[in-house]
Structure 1
Amino acid sequence: MSSSFSSPRALRRSFLVAAASAVALVSGAASASDRIDPRLQQAMQRDLGISAKQLPQYLQTERTSLLQAGAAERALGSTFAGSWIERQADGSFQFVVASSGTGRAARGLAGVQVRTVRHSLRQLENSFAALQASAKSRVAGVSKPLGGVHSWRVDPVSNSVVVSLAPGAEADGVDFVALSGADASMVVFETDEGVPQLLAEVVGGIEYSWPVGQQYGVCSVGFPVTKGEIKGFATAGHCGKAGQAVNVGPRADKIPLGAFSASDFPGTDTAWVAVNANHILAGKVTDYNGGSVAVKGSVEAPIGAALCRSGRTTFYKCGTIRSKNITANYGASGSVSGLTETNVCTGKGDSGGAWITSEGQAQGVTSGGSLPVGSNDNCSASANTRKTWFQPLNPLLTKYGLTLVTD
Structure 2
Amino acid sequence: MIALVAAALLVPAAARADTASGETRARQVARALGAVPGTAWLLDPRADTVVVLADRTVTGARLDRVEAATRPYGDAVRLRRIDGVLGLRLSGGDPVTGGGYRCTAGANVTGGGAYYFVTAGHCGTAASTWYTLGGALIGPTAGTSFPGNDYSIVRYTGNVSHDGTVGQQDITGAGGAYVGEHVCMRGGTTGVHCGTVLALNASVNYAEGTVNGLIETNVCAEPGDSGGALYDGSTLLGILSGGTGDCTSGGVTFFQPIIEILNAYGLTVY
Query: Which band: TM-score by shorter chain?
Result: 0.7 to 0.9
Alignment of 1:239-254 (within 5 A): 239-241=123-125, 244-250=128-134, 254=135
Question: 1:131, CA displacement in angstroms?
Answer: 3.0
Is 1:198 aligned to 2:88, yes or no?
yes
How far apart are the structure 2 equivalents of 1:201 and 1:243? 12
2:69 to 164, 176, 185: 176
Q: Is the 8 A contact 1:198 1:348 kept in 2?
A: yes
What residue in structure 2 maps to residue 12 of structure 1?
none
Question: 1:127, CA displacement in angstroms?
Answer: 1.4
Secondary structure, counterpart of 2:262 in structure 1: helix
Alignment of 1:4-403 (within 5 A): 123-134=21-32, 146=36, 150-167=39-56, 169=59, 170-177=63-70, 183=73, 186-202=76-92, 204-205=93-94, 207-211=95-99, 216-241=100-125, 244-250=128-134, 254-276=135-157, 278-286=159-167, 292-331=168-207, 333-357=208-232, 359-371=233-245, 378-382=246-250, 386-403=251-268
The CA deviation string for residues 59-112 of structure 1, in whole angstroms up to 9 with x for no partner, is: xxxxxxxxxxxxxxxxxxxxxxxxxxxxxxxxxxxxxxxxxxxxxxxxxxxxxx
- The structure where strand makes up a greater share of residues is 2
**How many corresponding residue pairs?**
252
Question: 1:347, CA displacement in angstroms?
Answer: 0.3
Secondary structure, counterpart of 1:263 in structure 2: strand
How far apart are the structure 2 equivalents of 1:311 and 1:166? 23
Secondary structure, counterpart of 1:238 in structure 2: helix
Question: 1:161, CA displacement in angstroms?
Answer: 0.3
Seen in structure 2, the aligned counterparts of structure 1 residues 319 and 175 have a Cα distance that, compared at 3 Å, is: same
How far apart are the structure 2 equivalents of 1:257 and 1:392? 24
Secondary structure, counterpart of 2:86 in structure 1: strand
How far apart are the structure 2 equivalents of 1:335 and 1:158? 25
Secondary structure, counterpart of 1:387 in structure 2: strand
Secondary structure, counterpart of 1:175 in structure 2: helix
**One-letter amino acid of the counterpart of residue 368, structure 1:** G
**One-letter amino acid of the counterpart of residue 404, structure 1:** V
Identity rate, percent: 30
TM (norm. structure 1) is: 0.58
Seen in structure 2, the aligned counterparts of structure 1 residues 329 and 242 have a Cα distance that, compared at 3 Å, is: closer
Seen in structure 2, the aligned counterparts of structure 1 residues 293 and 247 have a Cα distance that, compared at 3 Å, is: same
Q: Is the 8 A contact 1:242 1:260 kept in 2?
A: no
Question: 1:183, CA displacement in angstroms?
Answer: 4.9
What is the CA RMSD across the aligned residues, in angstroms?
2.5
**One-letter amino acid of the counterpart of residue 234, structure 1:** V
Question: 1:166, CA displacement in angstroms?
Answer: 3.2
In structure 2, stretches of 5+ residues that fail to align are 1-12
Secondary structure, counterpart of 1:394 in structure 2: helix
**One-letter amino acid of the counterpart of residue 367, structure 1:** S
Question: 1:130, CA displacement in angstroms?
Answer: 2.3
